[in-house]
């Protein structure tokens, strides 16, 4: 019998790619999502790619009663991946209470719900973030790098959620793995799923592709006076399909009972720092496109530079990123082109 994985936020950008990975590997998947930044239409596309359909439950995990109701009727789950959260750094600086309420309450309600199951799950994978490191004093960051003051409310919610999960390990009764992933970009090779945020993009790549497609007048690069080679922020960009594979690998580690500790942490990145300007130039070069862009002021919550030490993920988790910057920018543009060919918004498409 196939193992059943619950994926909260499974209709979102990273969640949808991870669901494809799990389904393609023979797992059954139940998606919990409130579609605040996604669409139920994505389920058809996940099914087309994987050749197998996930189950779908529309639920807001920050709603305690609704979450309790779901878990009271859930017969069996083998493991859980928790993606569901608001995730835009800039927006969190403007609306911190929105982020505290959603990200913290949803995690608390999920953990309490899992305690209700008659048979404990074999483990939980928490999708954390490199934002938990704040602005690190030394690079690259390792899993033992101390958490500095978070640069945004979003980053703070990830710090708090990690601490809640860690300190609750003995109470909840199953092992957990926190994946501190860096900056996901790119799209599935099929161009059937990719990053398509509601409203104005907060992340770099969809802003690049929408500008290239003529949906945005110009790209704004937030700050070129940082202490970096070209003055723009440096990030560890990782292809979303590599990230999806990391979540599968973590789930398998839990199900196979290979964890060394009740709470494990792994950095998920490429180990290479790429500046914002380098990413813009790579997109232009690989896709033969000239992007209109302007330099704007620094943005609240942005860290100057951060990239990962990935040795622990490679040696203990058995995972390593395979796709490079060319794969990232090429797949992202192919995804945007698929939206242009549809001649309408992905989320409003009647064909889905």
Q: Cα Rg for the chain, rounded, in angstroms?
A: 19
Task: Give me the half-sphere count of Cα atoms (radius 13 Å) on the Cβ side of residue 93.
Answer: 10
- Written in H, E and C, the secondary structure of the chain is CCCEEEEECCCCHHHHHHHHHHHHCCCEEEEEECCCCCCCCHHHHHHHHHCCCCEEEECCCCCHHHHHHHHHCCCCCCEEEECCCCCCHHHHHHCHHHHHHHHHHHHHHHHHHHHCCCCCCCCEEEEEEHHHHCCCCCCCECCCCCCCCCCCHHHHHHHHHHHHHHHCHHHHCCCEEEEEECEEECCCCCCCCCCCCCCCCCCHHHHHHHHHCCCCCCEEEECCCCCCCCCCCEECEEEHHHHHHHHHHHHHHHHCCCCCCCEEEEEECCCCCEEHHHHHHHHHHHHCCCCCEEEECCCCCCCCECCECCHHHHHHHCCCCCCCHHHHHHHHHHHHHHHHHHCCCHHHCCCC
Q: How is residue 80 written in tokens?
A: 């859980």
Active site residue 154: yes
Exactly one of 99, 154, 226, 263 is catalytic; name it: 154
CB 242 within 8 Å of CB 322: yes
CB 248 within 8 Å of CB 7: no
Pairing of strands 124-129, 176-181: parallel
Q: How is residue 107 written in tokens?
A: 């995690």
CB 73 within 8 Å of CB 117: no
Residues taking part in catalysis: 154
């Amino acid at each position: 019998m196939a193992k059943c994985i619950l994926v909260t936020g499974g209709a979102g950008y990273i969640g949808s790619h991870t669901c494809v990975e799990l389904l393609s590997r023979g797992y059954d998947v139940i998606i919990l999502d409130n579609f605040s930044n996604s669409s139920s239409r994505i389920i058809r596309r996940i099914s087309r790619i994987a050749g197998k359909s996930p189950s779908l439950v529309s639920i807001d995990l920050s709603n305690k009663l609704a979450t309790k109701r779901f878990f009271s009727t859930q017969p069996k789950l083998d493991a859980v991946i928790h993606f569901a959260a608001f995730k835009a750094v800039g927006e969190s600086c403007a609306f911190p209470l929105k982020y505290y309420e959603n990200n913290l309450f949803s995690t608390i309600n999920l953990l309490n719900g899992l305690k209700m199951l008659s048979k404990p799950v074999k483990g939980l994978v928490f999708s954390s973030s490199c934002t938990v490191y704040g602005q690190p004093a030394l690079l690259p960051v390792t899993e033992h790098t101390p958490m500095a003051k978070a640069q945004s409310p979003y980053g703070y919610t990830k710090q708090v959620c990690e601490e809640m999960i860690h300190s609750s390990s003995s109470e909840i009764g199953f092992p957990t793995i926190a994946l501190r992933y860096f900056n996901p970009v790119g799209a599935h090779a099929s161009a059937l799923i990719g990053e398509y945020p509601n409203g104005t993009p907060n992340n770099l790549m969809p802003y690049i592709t929408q500008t290239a497609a003529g949906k945005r007048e110009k790209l704004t690069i937030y700050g070129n006076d940082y202490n970096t080679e070209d003055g723009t922020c440096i990030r560890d960009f990782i292809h979303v399909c590599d990230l999806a594979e990391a979540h599968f690998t973590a789930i398998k580690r839990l199900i196979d009972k290979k964890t060394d500790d009740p709470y494990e942490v792994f950095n998920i990145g490429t180990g290479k720092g790429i500046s914002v300007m380098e990413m813009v130039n790579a997109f232009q070069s690989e896709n033969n496109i000239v992007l209109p862009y302007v330099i704007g002021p620094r943005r609240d919550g942005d860290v100057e530079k951060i990239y990962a030490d990935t040795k622990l993920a490679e040696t203990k988790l058995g995972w390593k990123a395979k796709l490079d910057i060319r794969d990232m920018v090429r797949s992202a543009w192919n995804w945007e082109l698929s939206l242009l060919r549809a001649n309408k918004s992905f989320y409003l498409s009647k064909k889905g």
